[in-house]
Amino acid sequence: MGLLRLKMPPKFQLLALVAFAIAMIVLENQIQKLEESRGKLGKNLSFPMNKSLSDLFNFLIIIYLFVFQVRFVKNVTLWKEMKPAFYHGHVSFLDFTKFGVKKKPIYINVIRDPIERLVSYYYFLRFGDDYRPGLRRRKQGDKKTFDECVAAGGSDCAPEKLWLQIPFFCGHYSECWNIGSKWALEQAKYNLVNEYMLVGVTEELEDFVMMLEAALPRFFKGATELYRTGKKSHLRKTSEKKPPTKEAIARLQQSDIWKMENEFYEFALEQFQYVRAHAVREKDGELYLLAQNFFYEKIYPKTT
């Protein structure tokens, strides 16, 4: 990435400015489409919170639209002028080592209960959220509730719409996006355990923030206090969301797709709770990394 500076005549500068403005409008539309298509993976907590922290600790926040894998990998690894940086985006897992680079980014993520996510996404498409309440959404004007959609067998609430968190963690293989793929489920589990430093759940968000602060103070020092005492501007709330009935939930839970997505969610939750129990301890409302639980038996060569 970088800026290309050229000397142009005034009239060409004006044309370039107009072209840039048009490009920004197109980009804004693409961002909205991306935001709507990602399916409400979780409450969008990271960016505003880290914006406050970046002002204090002097690191950059880069929001990206994912287009070309190779170019993105090169930018992240070679863009030394823009480090340290916190990259925030909605993209499937990308294996940097596949492109021959030695240094990989530290992956973190947050997931949520699959039905909760789908319900939130359903109403988000119709009413948006409190982040940009005036923005027109793709399904704006559709007053049908989620329960009514399920009862009518609508496409926006179909079990296939649950298939999202597995493929995002699975990666960029075509099989990841084959709905109901058992291979994709196992690959997603593998990546979660082996490639992500920490994956939290929205139901235990404060603990997730505390663990990030304990493990990565360079980026998250003060995040817990900000989460507890701030205005919660980092938490987007979907407007007009109505909780589904037990009947609607039971109907979705009959699907094999729900069973697989829920298995992945339960796997992530269990892993998160395991890491929390074995890596940190809480004292007086603060979370601390456990003391060193290993020792060096011998060190060569011996120093005099």
- Over the stretch 204-216, which tens digit does the pLDDT of each residue have? 988 898 888 888 8
| Active site (annotated) includes residue 90 | yes
Span 135-157, mean pLDDT? 80
Tell me the pLDDT tens digit for each residue of 264-287.
Answer: 999 999 999 999 888 777 777 666
Fill in the DSSP letter of residue 155. Answer: G
Residues 90, 172, 234, 278: which is the catalytic one?
A: 90
| Active site (annotated) includes residue 234 | no
Q: What sign for the dihedral angle of Cα 181, 183, 186, 187?
A: negative
Provide the terminal-to-terminal Cα distance of the chain, rounded to the nearest Å.
Answer: 50
Its CATH architecture, for the domain 106-303, is: 3-Layer(aba) Sandwich (3.40)
148 within 8 A of 242, measured Cβ to Cβ: no
Tell me the pLDDT tens digit for each residue of 49-84.
Answer: 555 555 544 445 454 444 567 777 877 777 777 777
pLDDT above 90 covers what percent of the chain?
A: 34
Residues 88, 172, 234, 278: which is the catalytic one?
A: 88
* pLDDT reported for residue 4: 36
pTM: 0.71
Question: Average pLDDT, whole number, for the chain?
Answer: 75
User: 219: how many CB neighbours lie within 10 A of its CB?
Assistant: 20
Fill in the DSSP letter of residue 26. Answer: H
Peptide linkage before 84 cis (omega within 30 of 0):
yes
